[in-house]
Amino acid sequence: MSITKNVFQFVALILVAFTFSSCGYNSMVELDENVTQQWAQVENVYQRRADLIPNLVNTVKGAANMEKGILETVTKARAQATGITIDPSNLTPEAIQKFQGAQDQLSGALSRLLMTVERYPDLKSIAGFRDLQSQLEGTENRISVERKKFNEAVQGYNSYIRKIPQNLFAGIFGFGKKGYFEADKGADKAPEINFD
């Protein structure tokens, strides 16, 4: 009797292992982890940008008598952007849109700051400012690259869990669709350039 029970347990274990492997569970876990890892990298480059901003603001503040409001706007936008975090298990389109909105506010504030700096040629000649500006530009490029990689990871994951037979098991095991980073509104229109 004991031998029959052991054989039955062994067969049941093999059957469960076969079911999990044929339903794509392990692949869904791997793809989900890839999305989570890529999201961490996106957050990493955004954090790098946030870490550069106080040094940039202090350099500008110390070298130019700028409008106080612009520096306060940048500082406030940085605080809002770093205050929004998303749990990787909740990468819904709405959560990503909220995160992206805060980051866009920071990007806009930085753009206004850098446009204002154009009125201070002495500031642009300071090596520390040039270095920070260069690092900030490099970080913006990294953000773009990491967002692209994140979207590719999400696309691979979303495609996999929507295919048959994985779609049948994805819901059972709690694998839901992930959100993408989307282009900013108006990014599809070329800016008007007027030299008058």
The pLDDT tens digits of the residues spanning 138-165 come to 999 999 999 999 999 999 999 999 998 8
Where is average pLDDT lowest: 13-17, 43-47, 116-120, 123-127? 13-17
Q: Is residue 185 helix, strand or coil?
A: coil
Identity (one letter) of the amino acid at 40? A
**Is residue 189 over pLDDT 90?**
no
Dist. CA 55–CA 176, nearest whole Å: 40
- 74 in any annotated domain: yes
Residue 48's Cα: distance from chain center in Å?
12
Residue 14 falls inside a structural domain = no
Q: Which residue has the tokens 């669709």?
A: 177
Max Cα–Cα distance, the chain, nearest Å: 95
Residue 166 in contact with residue 160, Cβ under 8 Å? yes
Assign 3-class secondary structure to 110-165: HHHHHHHHCCCHHHHCCHHHHHHHHHHHHHHHHHHHHHHHHHHHHHHHHHHHHCCC
Of residues 192 and 106, the one with the higher pLDDT is 106
More confidently predicted of 127 and 152: 152
**pTM for this one?**
0.77
Contact 41, 114 (CB under 8 A): no
Average pLDDT over residues 165-187: 83
Query: If pLDDT is split at 50, 70 and 90, which confidence band does 132 have?
Result: confident
pLDDT reported for residue 195: 31
Number of domains in the chain: 1
Distance CA 32, CA 154 (A): 8
| 20 touches 26 (CB < 8 A) | yes
Percentage above 70 pLDDT, the chain: 82
CATH code, domain carrying 161: 1.20.1440.20
pLDDT of residue 121 exceeding 80, the answer is: no
Question: What pLDDT is attached to residue 139?
Answer: 93
Provide the domain limits for residue 154: 26-81+89-172
**Count, residues in the chain:** 196
pLDDT category of residue 168 using cuts at 50, 70 and 90: confident
